[in-house]
Amino acid sequence: MSNSRRDFLKAGSAALVAGMLPVSLVKLAFAESAENFTFAYISDSHIQQIKGSKFVRNWDQGLRRAVAEANLLTPKPDFVVFGGDLAQLGSKPELDHGAEMLSALKYKTYMVMGEHDYYLDLGEYWSKLYGDHFYSFDHKGVHFVVLNSIITYDDWTYNRWESPERRMNEMAGLDNPNGSPFMVGKAQLDWLRKDLADVNSKTPVVVFSHSPIQKIYRGWNFWTEDAEDVQKLLKRFRKVNVIYGHVHQIQYNQIGNIAFNSVMSTAWPWPYPQSYALAESHLPILTVPMNRADPFDERDATGWQFMNMHTGRVDLSYNLYGNDNRTVAWNDKQKRPEDRAFQDEDARVAPQTHY
């Protein structure tokens, strides 16, 4: 554990956040009804069974560490969100083993569905453990929505594959032409329309999804087919954040009124998709590119995050394993998220050239 990490955990989130916030923002926070609060976010642990009670140790350790560190936060976060892909191939032993590790969390935990949890039995066992695939709740003046954004076309789901195992394997590949684009789907869009109908447009809205509710790179399913339909329903709100897992890397973006933030994986990092270099309109406006994953460092670019909710905006503090922590915060002048605190450029792990 580096010095900065130890200091950070000892000092806790309140001291860190207070040090970062300009006074005017704090005043603004008191003028609004929403209380400032924090929550923690752990995602994409991909717990994978090898055989019997043997699991991939490195993935286990990534999740265990996130749980242990989240439990050390002072002040305590109000809740924890798990952002999906708890399991690797959606099996009961994997979901059970992951659930057992998550049960060590000392906080209320909200669960998001990932495709690796879903495509073996279409979420049946996950539901036994955690209940609804999509739902909403209110907390301290903020409306939170949890979506299952990883469903796909019925034909692909029900007619294409000779077995559930094959279906799971096809969806588990990153760069697989046999896959199918993720979506939220009509039933959930109808539910969301109704859910948001009674919410005042001044109320901050935070959406938790697994796939990004934007179109980043279709080839890798960093993609939601009906993203625009969801964005349309969110349009009338003044402050909206979408927080998503699945991409295993730090991304942020601003589309109209909606700020997008990804969270990291506790298991492994994905590289940036090639589209980052190609289509500016699809890109998060990155102020600081992420370090490339170092293949000789098994923990590089993985970790977990805690979030500070203030004045209806979400700032993310990324707790990077084996690197300096990083903060992506709302820039009120630019009206978009940007990197606020990150590793010194001169002290970086050498980047890989990947395209």
**Shorter beta-carbon distance to Fe ion: residue 115 or 225:** 115
Q: Please compute, for residue 216, the number of CA atoms within 13 A of its CA located in the half-sphere on the CB side.
A: 27
Please report whether residue 294 would count as binding Fe ion according to CB under 5 A: no
Residue written as tokens 């000392």? 106
**Shorter beta-carbon distance to Fe ion: residue 116 or 292:** 116
User: DSSP assignment of 123-176, as one string?
Assistant: THHHHHHH--SSEEEEETTEEEEE----B--HIIIIIS-SSHHHHHHHHH-SS-
Please report whether residue 85 would count as binding Fe ion according to CB under 5 A: yes
Q: How far apart are the first and last CA of the chain?
A: 32
Please report whether residue 315 would count as binding Fe ion according to CB under 5 A: no
Question: In angstroms, what is the minimal distance from the CB of 210 to Fe ion?
Answer: 6
Closest to 258 in 3D by CA, of 217, 278, 228, 280: 228
Q: With CB under 5 A as the contact rule, which of the stretches 66-74, 84-92, 96-104, 196-204 interacts with Fe ion?
A: 84-92
Question: In angstroms, what is the minimal distance from the CB of 27 to Fe ion?
Answer: 39
**Shorter beta-carbon distance to Fe ion: residue 36 or 152:** 152
Binding string, 246-275, against Fe ion, x = CB under 5 A?
Answer: x-----------------------------
Residue numbers 99-158 binding Fe ion by CB under 5 A: 114-115
Question: In angstroms, what is the minimal distance from the CB of 194 to Fe ion?
Answer: 27
Q: With CB under 5 A as the contact rule, which of the stretches 227-235, 238-246, 312-320, 345-353 interacts with Fe ion?
A: 238-246
Question: In angstroms, what is the minimal distance from the CB of 90 to Fe ion?
Answer: 11
Residue 275 and residue 217 in contact, taking contact as beta carbons nearer than 8 Å: yes
Residues of this chain that bind Fe ion (CB under 5 A): 44, 85, 114-115, 246
